[in-house]
Amino acid sequence: MKIKEIKAWMQEYGLACSDCSDKDSLVQFCIKNAKATPKAVRPKVPAGKTFWDAWADNAKEICDAQVAKTGAGEEGAKVCDAIRLATDSFFLQKGKQVAGKLKKKPEALLKTSYSEIYYDATRRIITRLTKHCLSSGNIKSCQSSSAVQTLMEKEKVAGAPFVMYMTNIGIENTNPMYDILKDKQGLDHDEL
């Protein structure tokens, strides 16, 4: 293998060796880490979709999985439809607003949102919104997309700062995304 191929393998597996100065040390490092598992494969930026359509679809998928997990049934399905519509509307309105202010195209927001830290942070805040809406005290009110969008706009769900997220995805500021991922409030063990 060439050094370039070895480094590509290491990157795929999320490995780095600061002490490796030559090919032999890289090979030894790889042998030592041969049982490593590849980093989770990040989905590619969806072709032919807008920023808001892509994340509305992701929000529906996240919500549907949560409904299946909790057994929220038909009421949960209505919440998922409302979350999808609210996400589409919020990301459309705020995404275009942020893109316009920064003189960017909304496609740039989509590309940024699918990079590692932003993708994980977006899924985390949508998961928090979904859990909030599927809780017994909120399931009825969250069947309305306007009610869900108000939660997003007014940042009423703990740990789900949608407005702040949108601004920071526009300016490509990663610090708040790391804060979202560090905040374990309201998450199950398998989501950490």
The whole-number average pLDDT for the span 143-154 is: 96
Residue 120 has pLDDT above 80, yes or no: yes
On the question of pLDDT at 188 being above 70, the answer is no
Nearest to 66 by CA among 136, 127, 8, 5: 127
For residues 28-51, give the mean pLDDT: 80
Using an 8 Å Cβ cutoff, are 129 and 156 in contact? no
Q: What is the pLDDT of residue 41?
A: 63
CA dihedral in degrees (106, 108, 113, 114; nearest 10)? Answer: 120
Is the pLDDT at 34 greater than 90? The verdict is: no
- Per-residue pLDDT at 66 exceeds 90: yes
Can you give the pLDDT at residue 192? Answer: 38
Residue 190 predicted with pLDDT over 60: no
- Compute and round to an integer the Cα radius of gyration of the chain: 20
What's the pLDDT band for 185 if we cut at 50, 70, 90? low
Predicted confidence band at 44 (pLDDT cuts at 50, 70, 90)?
A: confident
> What per-residue confidence (pLDDT) applies to 39?
63
Q: Report the amino acid identity of residue 117.
A: I
| Tens of pLDDT, residues 97-115 | 999 999 999 999 999 999 8
